[in-house]
Structure 1
Amino acid sequence: MDNRGCELNLPYPPIEVKGKNLCYAQLLQRDYTGKNGEMTAVTQYFYQHLTTKACSEALADELECVSIVEMRHLEMLGELIVLLGGVPVFRTTEGCVNTFWCGDNVQPTQNIKKFLQNNIAAEKIAIQNYRQHVMLIKDPKIQAVLERIILDEEHHIALFTKALSELPG
């Protein structure tokens, strides 16, 4: 991928696990396709990319680039889920209920200030979820992948914060 500033120039750890563990797979499923998971981030930022092109090509390009980074996260999580013995369906457990990922997770606002604020909040929730999963998952190989993803999410917060500060008015 060409680096347009949305991606840290750091390698990702290998996608490996110590062994099969369906409990870990279920935890990662939340990061994969939960309401605040990577599938939502991919589609949210791509939607914003499409709707922002006409008024700010630079921001639209950045949103597309971030969406692609989030897609890489989605792929890594899906691969980990498979290695753990899970199935990477677009479904997660919210509370005690199994739910499929839904397009309703994407917020349709086209107000740039509002969606940048929403993006920052969503990235913070994702980081919080990843940190919780790093503590719960006792596999250092998975922990390393999640810690690396956290670095990307922190970088995305910085990018969205900068874009927000550069808005007129």
Structure 2
Amino acid sequence: MSNSNKEIHPKSPYSDPSPYPEVQVLSRNPDYAEILMDDYAGIISEFTAINQYLYHHFICTPINKELGDLLKNIAKSEMLHLEILGSTIISLGGNPVIRGSGSLLHNNFWSGKSIYYGTNLCGQLKADIEAEYQAIAEYQRHILCIGDSQVKTILQRIILDEKVHIRLLSQALEKFCGCNVRGL
């Protein structure tokens, strides 16, 4: 991954301030690449998150530009995660097509059905927060399945951003809806 891509990534407050590790793997491992396909473009994935945040950005911007900008910038952060995962999948010997793991066998490629489309601002924020929690849980499960310390470091760094997203979205939920969800 080139440094120029890192430079366009929105910095604080949309991501953790710690640096991203270089995309490196200990050795090619197509099984690990296949595990990462779920994080890349499965139901709970960076690809789903990008599309959901952009949709919510389009709906929320006319209501409140600040909230729309927040959602757009979180989507940009998720785009960097997608790029990092795609590069990692290639380094492991995989092919980062837009699908989850095992989907080629079942002809189950990514679908827009994975996105929460509700047009209620509070419902969207709650869905976004829940999706971040689910993503963290998936990353943690995959860290346990993968024996490559380089890949684990990459996933652990992405988790830091997802936690920042939960904090920012929780603040927005409190501000715009007067309620909150489970904390970190």
Identity of aligned residues (%): 37
Which position in structure 1 is the counterpart of 2:65? 57
Which position in structure 2 is the counterpart of 1:136? 145
Contact 1:22 1:85 in 2 (8 A): yes
Which position in structure 2 is the counterpart of 1:164? 173
User: Residue 64 and residue 109 in structure 1: after superposition, are their counterparts in 2 closer, same or farther (change >3 A)?
Assistant: same
Deviation at residue 4 of structure 1 after TM alignment: 5.8
- Which among 142, 151, 161 is matched to residue 152 of structure 1? 161
Q: Deviations over 1:93-137 (max 9, x none)?
A: 368735211111112112111011111111111000000111111
Return the alpha-carbon distance in structure 1 between the equivalents of residues 154 and 102 of structure 2: 23
Which position in structure 2 is the counterpart of 1:29? 37
| 2:73 is equivalent to residue 69 of structure 1 | no
Which is richer in strand?
Answer: 1
- Which among 79, 98, 106 is matched to residue 97 of structure 1? 106
- Which among 23, 31, 52 is matched to residue 15 of structure 1? 23
Counterpart AA for 2:141? Q
Where structure 2 has 5 or more consecutive residues not aligned to the other structure, the ranges are 1-7, 179-184
Aligned alpha-carbon RMSD (Å): 1.5
- Matched residue SS, 1:18: coil
- Which among 111, 114, 123 is matched to residue 132 of structure 2? 123
Return the alpha-carbon distance in structure 2 between the equivalents of residues 103 and 142 of structure 1: 28
Which position in structure 2 is the counterpart of 1:88? 96
Aligned residues: 169
Contact 2:122 2:177 in 1 (8 A): no
